[in-house]
Chain A
Amino acid sequence: MTRYRTIQLGWKAVAVLFMLLLPMFLREIDVHFCTEIIIFSLFAISLNLVLRGVGLLSFGHAAFFGIGAYSMALISQHMPGIPLLLLLLIVALAGCLATSVIGFFCVRANPQYFPLLTLAFQMLLYAVALKWRTVTGGDDGMVMMRPDLYLPFLETISLMAINNLYYFTLIIVALAISGCYLLLKTPLGNAFFCIRENPTRASFLGYNVFLTKLTAFTISGFLSGLAGGLYALFQEFVSTATMDVHMSFGVLMMLLIGGVGHFLGPVLGVAFMVFFQNWLSGVTSHWPIFVGIVFIVVVRYLDKGLVGIFDLKPIRFLAGGRET
């Protein structure tokens, strides 16, 4: 093992330990924020899977997040006894199904129209959630109960305690993100990059551009749906806010601020924005202006996003230099 790898492994161990010990040092309200960051990290990474993966910019990803959240609330309302892990799987598959149907129409279109088409579909679903009061509760939203977690050989874990919810979310999201990370290292993940880099060349090498894009979009939908489901669990409430334009663009903004080019860039962006917004909204009621300013500054002067700070020399040194 090279020196670089050892140091990298060391940092990873520190990060894992940090995440595991975090709730012990924080107030309950801060654990809340950390849980929110974890959930939105998954959402941002799922969005980045299509943007960095196959080069498609989705303006309507909240649609799949919202579908995850609503199906979480609806299923747990109508089938109260369902095991939580199975429920999350179903919720993620709902996101998957929605993206494959919507993606079928959007991916085929000219890449320039793709963002607008996704936005249009999102608005359509938003309207459904708003108007179909008997099912979704319209703008009153839906309340959902956090079910207990039953694990074999262990006692029942109540997720009403925020620390338990934190660990539960952390484990689920860590598994999902690791899976996503590994996926990008398989031939399929490589195919995504081929399509982003040069779709013409890729198709003449035998890659099916449409199907590959759709696959990336569908996997992204799976992760978005999962994030939405976790968000419903976290909020104990689902409203049309999970599916509206602010959600789509909010997460896109976090993603761009964090940095698209690096796998963990979105996580950094989410963490920064959640804390920044939270702190700022305590200081001034005009906080959105400052969020906008930060966005402009980052996009204009940090072209790699916040993740670009890892390229700075002192930090490179700490990280063990460059990979050889």
Chain B
Amino acid sequence: MAILRLREVDKKFSGVQALSRVNLEIIPGERHAIIGPNGSGKSTLFNVITGFYKPSGGRIFFKEKDITGWQAHRIARLGLARSFQITQIFPMMTVFENVRNAITSKLSRRFNWTMLLNRSKEIQRKTGEIIHLLQLDEERYVLAAEANYGTQRQLEVAMALAWDPELIMLDEPTAGLDAEDTRAFVHLIREVTEGKTLLIVEHDMEVVFKLADRITVLVYGRVLATGTSTEIQENEEVRKAYLGRE
């Protein structure tokens, strides 16, 4: 039974067909990567799934629930967390507070006005756990805007993970990191997403083949192929359209 299912999803931007008839199934527990050349619609696909854009056609099911056209916050609350390709953090808050925002939301305290936030032991403890898990202990009290880029990328993933979501979607988590940082970060992602369902967009082929159980290739908004990494590497069409040019 798929945790996420896309059926014939279309997305048009004033005449440009960004996605056309995308079918996709994510099986619980798998690490699924989406690859494709620049402008092939990977980020658009993410944005359509998570409710940032409304699809122009087709249906999206998450945990068998039709979430097509839902607002982002409702989808997030179902247990679907994401990170962004371009870092989206709370710049004037510390790393700790950033993660705490996610934990507070996770515990459904968003509208609680009867307690002081820093008095809640539960929130403090859970935030501390995530900070520790993502190895952000040293940067705990650093303002997010002033943290170095690698930390900010880690924070992106930390906020997605803090929700303890049923599906984690990472949009190019290693974007902008150098080779060494990328290697360490991929190792970390592998570790912390153990046993979780992961959907990841990635540019770096090395990362993809190391991380993913299955791969979907997207070209010009169409799904070219889906399969294991060996299947994808051997697929003639994929080689022609994508891998050959690398």
Could you list which residues of chain A lie within 8 angstroms of chain B, going by C-beta atoms? 182-183, 185-191, 193-194, 197-198, 200-209, 212, 215
- Closest beta carbon of chain A to B137's beta carbon, Å: 19
A188 to B73, CA, bound (A): 16
A215 to B71, CA, bound (A): 19
Q: Chain B residues with Cβ under 8 A from A191's Cβ?
A: 104, 110-111
Instruction: Pull 29 A–B residue pairs with CB atoms less than 8 Å apart, ordered by A.
Output: A185-B118, A186-B112, A186-B115, A186-B117, A187-B104, A187-B109, A187-B110, A188-B112, A189-B117, A191-B111, A193-B93, A197-B91, A197-B93, A198-B88, A198-B91, A200-B84, A201-B159, A202-B90, A203-B71, A204-B52, A204-B73, A204-B76, A206-B73, A206-B106, A206-B163, A207-B73, A208-B73, A212-B111, A215-B111
A238 to B149, CA, bound (A): 56
Q: Tell me the B97-147 residues at the A interface (CB within 8 Å).
A: 100-102, 104-106, 109-118, 120
A250 to B88, CA, bound (A): 36
Inter-chain contact A185/B90, CB cutoff 8 Å: no
Inter-chain contact B76/A206, CB cutoff 8 Å: yes
- Closest beta carbon of chain A to B81's beta carbon, Å: 7
Q: Tell me the B35-86 residues at the A interface (CB within 8 Å).
A: 50, 52, 71-73, 76-77, 81-82, 84
Q: Does B2 contact A (CB under 8 A)?
A: no
Tell me what chain A mostly uses at the interface: helix, strand, loop, or mixed.
helix
- Closest beta carbon of chain B to A202's beta carbon, Å: 7
Contact of A212 among B72, B109, B110 (CB under 8 A): B110
Could you list which residues of chain B lie within 8 angstroms of chain A, going by C-beta atoms? 50, 52, 71-73, 76-77, 81-82, 84, 88-93, 100-102, 104-106, 109-118, 120, 159, 163
A197 in contact with B112 given A203-B76, A206-B76 (CB within 8 Å) = no
Inter-chain contact B72/A203, CB cutoff 8 Å: yes
A183 to B113, CA, bound (A): 6
5 nearest CB pairs, A to B: A197-B90, A188-B113, A187-B109, A201-B88, A206-B105
Q: Chain B residues with Cβ under 8 A from A193's Cβ?
A: 90, 93
Inter-chain contact A185/B89, CB cutoff 8 Å: no
A200 in contact with B112 given A205-B159, A205-B163, A209-B73 (CB within 8 Å) = no
Inter-chain contact B101/A202, CB cutoff 8 Å: yes
A197 to B91, CA, bound (A): 7
Tell me what chain B mostly uses at the interface: helix, strand, loop, or mixed.
loop
Inter-chain contact B88/A187, CB cutoff 8 Å: no
Inter-chain contact B110/A188, CB cutoff 8 Å: yes
Most buried by A among B73, B93, B117, B163: B73
Q: Chain A residues with Cβ under 8 A from B120's Cβ?
A: 187
Inter-chain contact B101/A194, CB cutoff 8 Å: yes
Most buried by A among B91, B92, B112, B113: B113
Q: Supply 17 further A-B pairs (C-beta < 8 A) apart from A187-B110, A194-B101, A206-B110.
A: A182-B116, A185-B118, A186-B117, A189-B113, A190-B101, A191-B110, A197-B91, A198-B89, A200-B84, A201-B159, A202-B101, A203-B71, A204-B50, A205-B76, A205-B101, A205-B102, A206-B73
Inter-chain contact B113/A204, CB cutoff 8 Å: no
- Closest beta carbon of chain A to B124's beta carbon, Å: 12
- Closest beta carbon of chain A to B120's beta carbon, Å: 8
A191 to B73, CA, bound (A): 13
- Closest beta carbon of chain A to B91's beta carbon, Å: 6
- Closest beta carbon of chain A to B66's beta carbon, Å: 19
Q: Chain A residues with Cβ under 8 A from B111's Cβ?
A: 187-188, 191, 212, 215
- Closest beta carbon of chain A to B68's beta carbon, Å: 17
Most buried by A among B84, B88, B120: B88
Q: Chain A residues with Cβ under 8 A from B100's Cβ?
A: 190
A198 to B159, CA, bound (A): 13
Contact of A187 among B50, B81, B115 (CB under 8 A): B115
